[in-house]
Amino acid sequence: MTKLNQIIAVEKGVKSKAYAEVTDAHHRLQKSALLAGISRTYQPKDEEGEQYPPESTRVQVRAEEVLRQTASTLTRLFDVTATKDWANCEAKADVVVDGQVLLRAVPATYLLFLEKQLADLHTFVAKLPVLDASESWSYDQAADCWATEPVQTTKTKKIPRNHVKAEATDKHPAQVEVYYEDVVVGHWRTVKFSGALPASRVKELLDRVDKLQQAVKFAREEANNSEVTDQRIGERFFAYLLDGTISPQTPR
């Protein structure tokens, strides 16, 4: 009995071969010279007239013949694709994570969709913003985000001071030098906030995505291992197309 994964494996090759042969047939039918033939014989007016050999060109391509060859080529493609699509309607498997069924009887085609989505989700989660590891963070319910412990720093201001280098005399004024002194005028209380995530949370999410990816992959392999019933669609399809006949279809 044929397995679905075997049909999937050969489908690409059958499709490529069929498309190549159909394309070749199409190109041959566009070359009018290959479809044309001729036969000419010469009869002189009298027995003394000059003789010429007969001329002939054979028809190299017959449209009806190419049409039926093309139908034969496409019949295999139609059958393989039908077998796969019919089987996909029945191919299902459970998605199991940590020994528990997360999703039950998921169709193979949807499992393939999930695989692609999970690959995108892995990229998305891996690039989530992470809290600065150099800070200590705790969740602030009021701000509804992460916050650091308050840090207090001083605010200083340069205040001018006078330094008398020489006292005034009756002959000279005092020599005064101005300098600036940093004086504490207040305090800053700083709290940093962030909407990023702890590294442990991102790792937790990535681990779950990895588990889901493995579970979905195993489920798809199990679904694709189901047995299939070979479909015979192409012959009936092209029998009608070429000859207009529709024979009774055997129930499957």
Q: What is the mean pLDDT of residues 128-138?
A: 94
Tell me, what's the pLDDT at 251?
Answer: 53
Q: Are residues 155 and 240 in the same domain?
A: no
Largest CA distance in the chain: 160
Are 66 and 169 found together in one domain? no
User: Looking at residue 176, what is its pLDDT?
Assistant: 78
* Shared domain check, 75 and 13: yes
My answer on whether 113 and 205 are in the same domain is: yes
**For 170-186, what is each residue's pLDDT tens digit?**
777 878 788 888 888 89
Q: Are residues 21 and 119 in the same domain?
A: no
Residue 58 confidence (pLDDT) above 90: no
pTM over 0.75: no
d(C-alpha 64, C-alpha 213), whole Å: 51
Given a cut of 80, whether residue 252 has pLDDT beyond it is no
- Looking at the fold, whether 72 and 164 belong to one and the same domain comes out as no
Give the confidence band of 66 by pLDDT, cuts at 50, 70, 90. Answer: confident
Q: Based on the domain organization, do 4 and 68 belong to the same domain?
A: yes
Residue 208 lies in a domain: yes
Residues 109 and 82 grouped into a single domain: no
Question: What's the domain count of the chain?
Answer: 3
- Domain co-membership, 212 together with 235: no
Output DSSP code: residue 22. H
Residue 100 maps to a domain: yes
Residue 71 lies in domain: 1-91+228-252
Structure token digits, residue 203: 């790792």
DSSP 58: -
Residue 235 has pLDDT above 80, yes or no: yes
> Do 18 and 27 meet the contact criterion of CB atoms below 8 Å apart?
no
**Together in a domain, 98 and 220:** yes
What are the tens digits of pLDDT across the range 193-222?
Answer: 999 999 999 999 999 999 999 999 999 999
Q: Are residues 99 and 200 in the same domain?
A: yes
- Place 46 in a pLDDT band, splitting at 50, 70 and 90: confident
Instruction: Say whether both 73 and 168 belong to one domain.
Output: no
